[in-house]
Chain A
Amino acid sequence: GAGVSQSPSNKVTEKGKDVELRCDPISGHTALYWYRQSLGQGLEFLIYFQGNSAPDKSGLPSDRFSAERTGGSVSTLTIQRTQQEDSAVYLCASSFGTGYEKLFFGSGTQLSVL
């Protein structure tokens, strides 16, 4: 595809369940970011992948959150034992990652934890 693809676009889950959110970046982009945005708020950095380097996980809010990026392409963000405060839009973005590059964003996954 031409852009960053995220799935699902909406996810409703019950408190305590695990969820997986998927991001398919633009082909050839080495950098991949996950951000979280609560209603009416800014973007909260979660995790950053750059090529084969170890990811920067400094933004993950708790050990219930994890992410992986397989083969330098598709990324999955997993939230275990979801809580109501995890409800937010989860945004993925990618770039060529060589510096001075703009990010291309997906449309996000709206996660609602009941």
Chain B
Amino acid sequence: SQQGEEDPQALSIQEGENATMNCSYKTSINNLQWYRQNSGRGLVHLILIRSNEREKHSGRLRVTLDTSKKSSSLLITASRAADTASYFCATDERSNYKLTFGKGTLLTVNP
């Protein structure tokens, strides 16, 4: 079964609005990562947050991690049409570093 599950499955917003995506996972982790995928091909790494971190920023991205609730959120501020893509969270397992991915959130930013 998937270690991480994203919510919502799809999100449609207007340019300039903020987009929030959530990820829940099941077992203890070393770190959690967020990736972006355009056109159903290769994924691109966005940001990594370690299990002892609670919040991290990178440009217009803000990631939070709540290990007590086994959940993370990705916030994209001031969204642009170019942010339209699928977003995936990936988690490893405490006992090893194998990464497993959720089903993703499809974000559509309308101009």
A interface residues with partner B (beta carbon < 8 Å):
4, 31, 33, 35, 37, 39, 41-43, 45, 48, 50, 56, 89, 91, 93, 97, 99-108
Contact = CB atoms under 8 A, between A and B. Distances in A.
A23 to B, nearest CB: 12
A100 B104 contact: no
Contacts, number: 60
B26 interface: no
Contacts of A106: 42
Contacts of A37: 40
Contacts of B69: none
Contact of B50 (A31, A42, A89, A100): A100
Interface in B35-58: 35, 40-45, 48, 50
Contact of B88 (A33, A42, A45, A93): A42
- 6 tightest Cβ-Cβ pairs between the two chains A and B: A42-B103, A102-B45, A43-B101, A105-B42, A107-B42, A105-B43
Contacts of A100: 30-31, 48, 50
A31 B97 contact: yes
Contacts of A45: 98-101
Contact of A99 (B2, B30, B45, B101): B30
